[in-house]
Amino acid sequence: MLSSMSSTPSATQPAMTALDRALRPEVLIAVMLGGAFGALLRELFAFWFTGGSSTAFPLGILLANLGGAFLLGLFATWIDGLIRHHVFRPFWEAGFVRSFTTLSTFSLQSIVLIEAGAWGTFIPYVVISVVGGLILIWCGERLGAFFVARAGGSVDVDEQTRVEEEL
């Protein structure tokens, strides 16, 4: 059964496209399970750090978004280079990290703060989220590249294209 799922083309089997790989049952299950864990952890962060208050500084969501940005950068370089299993990236990157860090959660929390007139909380939250996210994804990528180089490898220069095609 596994040999019939190979992405290597043969005379009778056409090459598997990125969409074909993404729609394989084990990949879909990996994304679903990773997404469930990421969403659950994001909700726990939101409640642990704000106590359920809708107008408190959204520290839990901020930490989830910043931590997720770092993890995504790290996964895209170092971890992905170590673990080449075809369900690893869908589980961790497309499932876990992307459900743990969501623009919709950030946006909703921002609107709640605006509607509550909590400008002193809203402005730093948005600035720290956006600038911090960019800095931390870059830091994760740099750390990952360092680990790859230290192990004697090199970072794939077309990594971003490959990531987008596989996800």
Burial grade of 86 (CB within 10 A; 0-12, 13-18, 19 or more): middle
Residue keyed to tokens 């990157």: 93
In this prediction, residue 90 carries a pLDDT of: 87
What distance in Å separates the CA atoms of residue 35 and residue 92, rounded to the nearest whole number? Answer: 8
| DSSP reduced 3-state for 102 | coil
pLDDT, position 5 = 46
End-to-end CA distance of the chain, in Å? Answer: 23
Question: Higher pLDDT residue, 94 or 41?
Answer: 41
Where does the pLDDT of residue 4 fall: very low under 50, low under 70, confident under 90, or very high at 90 and above? Answer: very low
What is the model's pLDDT at position 157? 55
Instruction: List all residues 6 or more positions away from 31 whose beta carbon is below 8 Å from its beta carbon.
Output: 90, 91, 94, 95
Instruction: Decide if 79 contacts 155 (C-beta within 8 A).
Output: no
Question: What is the Cα–Cα distance from 30 to 97, expressed in whole angstroms?
Answer: 12
Of 79-83, 141-145, 152-156, the range with the highest mean pLDDT is 141-145
Positive or negative CA dihedral for 45, 50, 52, 57?
Answer: negative
